[in-house]
Structure 1
Amino acid sequence: MTLNYKKIGQGEPLIILHGLFGSADNWMSIAKELENDFTIYLVDQRNHGESPKSDEWTYKAMAEDLAGFLTSQGLEAVNLMGHSMGGKTAMNFALKYPGKVKKLIIADIAPRYYDPHHQSILEGLNAIDLENLSSRKEAEDTLSKYISEKGIRQFLLKNLGRNEESKFTWKVNLPVITEKIENVGEALQGNQTFENPTLFMRGANSDYIQDQDKADLEKFFPDYKLISIKNAGHWLHAEQPAAVVATIKAFLK
């Protein structure tokens, strides 16, 4: 699968993977703060952004997509960062292809299993009648019945695009994500380890990485550090961008 991506900057390669319902654009503001030090590849994962849609949606498939992306770009080894779902993809990739990853950064996700917890989002997105939708405001009005936080609604509606006939369409593969949402919570499998330096960044106000997860972090990533970003939740890069940029730079340098 040929993944869509955006490339900026100069220096050592750094690949950044977005989370569920996200896209490469989510990390552009962070990338611009790093472009003097790194060549940054912002990648749309399958079924997201401008990358192809597929009925297959697993971390194994997304890790293989990333392996193909490195080959297509002539990249032998990279620094790799992923947020949430992208972090799980990055972990799976590093465990299978440890020689291709110099340093690994995981943003607010642990190796363990997560129960499905996106049901209200999926219900809201599926309630939007694309065939008869006349405006983005109408879409947000429908979504507001399911999701009270305006910022989350605006983030989700970045996935609303138009096709060649100017009709509204989803950039994400909503039917497949709805059907296979349990896949996104899957735990890391096997006994492989990634021995290179690994940084886990967690939002201090988020419960995605808990202290009891440290045993799993050490099991799979023995050379790991865990840093909490103050005054940040799960969307730490949007809530505390300066702290996230400083943490990334310090770790990679």
Structure 2
Amino acid sequence: MLNCLTYPCAHSAASVLIVHGLYGSARNWGVISKRLSDQFNVYAVDLRNHGDSPWYDSHSYRDMAQDLAQIIQHIGNPTHVIGHSMGGKAAMVLGLTEPNLVDRLLIADIAPVAYGHDQNQYIEAMQQLDLSQISTRAEALQALAADVPDLALRNFFLRSLDLKEKRWKLNLKILQREMPEILGFPELTESYKKPCLMLVGADSTYVTNEMRPRIKDLFPNAKFAKIPRAGHWLHADRPRAFEA
């Protein structure tokens, strides 16, 4: 079963499951999880091949959706599901294939379509880092700088570096091999008819108007909202606006 961080709420039976994006982890959502626990029982997972969850040879969205279904079955009641980027795709597949487990969806800055950009340059940068020569976070930040100039991205990646064990808490080999699967989206004919909010960063290009017909085909009750002055990592750029 996936590793899951739990943030209980003393006065609510409603639950929220939070699903991070590629190279992320449940820990990235700690602040938002704690704030949401004022109203909900919050469960933040590490997806397969990420964080403290098991490593597998597959990284398909159907498999990720089944991992999430197992968590919800363990919780014991249908949940609201928040998914960002890759985690949003996994959440969408969960809603489409196991709608009885999902009360409503909030999908953050991703659409149920195939994308053309490549993420492998970041995997290669992490693989090339000689961890035997790295003893501090500052050294790792500096060593990654040439391949990952964006400081915010470097800090994000390093949240998955275990300095003590000299290892990445990411199954980089499988994520690299499965990148076409991660960038794609499975062919599904089902639709999810419960409430679905597609939340996008106003400065992001991940969800375009041209994608809306496909979204509406699969999620006929989808509504759309934008967070101003936010990019793809909208929950990090504008956390309070995201929580609202």
Q: Specify the TM-score bucket, using the shorter chain as the normaliser.
A: over 0.9
Aligned equivalent of 1:216: 214
User: Matched residue of 2:18: which SS?
Assistant: strand
Q: Which deviations, in whole Å up to 9, do the C-alpha atoms of 1:202-249 show, x marking residues without a partner?
A: 000000001111101100000010101100000100111111111xxx
1:67 deviation in Å? 1.3
Aligned residue number for residue 77 of structure 2: 76
Structure 1 position 16 matched with structure 2 position 18: yes
User: What residue number does 2:111 align with?
Assistant: 110
Is 2:204 the partner of 1:206?
yes
* Alpha-carbon separation, structure 2, partners of 1:136 and 1:202: 31
8 A Cα contact 1:81 1:90, kept in partner: yes
TM-score (norm 1): 0.91
Other-structure match for 2:33: 31
Structure 1 gap segments, 5+ residues each: 247-253
Structural mapping, 1:138-177, within 5 Å: 138-162=139-163, 166-177=164-175
Q: CA deviation at 1:64?
A: 0.8
**1:100 shift after superposition:** 1.0
Contact 1:106 1:201 in 2 (8 A): yes
Q: Which runs of 4+ in 1 moved over 6 A?
A: none
Q: Which runs of 5+ in 2 are unaligned?
A: none
1:184 is displaced (CA, Å) by 0.9
1:90 corresponding residue in structure 2: 91
Residues in 1 aligned to 2:133 and 2:53: alpha-carbon distance in whole angstroms: 26
Corresponding letter in the other structure for 2:110: I
Once the two structures are TM-superposed, the CA of residue 114 in structure 1 deviates from its matched residue by 0.8
User: Is the contact made by 1:4 and 1:43 (CA closer than 8 Å) also made in structure 2?
Assistant: yes
Partner Cα distance (1:101, 1:177) in 2: 27
Which residue identity lines up with residue 196 of structure 1 in the other structure?
A: K
What TM-score, normalized to structure 2? Answer: 0.95
Kept in 1, the 8 Å contact 2:61–2:185? The answer is no
Map of 1:164-203 to 2, 5 A cutoff? 166-203=164-201
Whole-Å separation in 2 of the counterparts to 1:237 and 1:80: 15
State the percentage of identical aligned residues: 36
1:14 counterpart SS class? strand
Which moved further from structure 2: 179-188 or 11-20? Answer: 179-188
Question: Are 2:17 and 2:44, in contact at CA under 8 Å, matched by a contact in 1?
Answer: yes
Equivalent-residue separation in structure 2 for 1:190 and 1:60 (angstroms): 10
The alignment partner of 1:42 has SS state of: strand
The count of corresponding residues between Structure 1 and Structure 2 is 241
Could you tell me how far apart the structure 2 residues matched to 1:238 and 1:217 are?
Answer: 24
Structure 1 residue 3: Cα displacement: 0.8
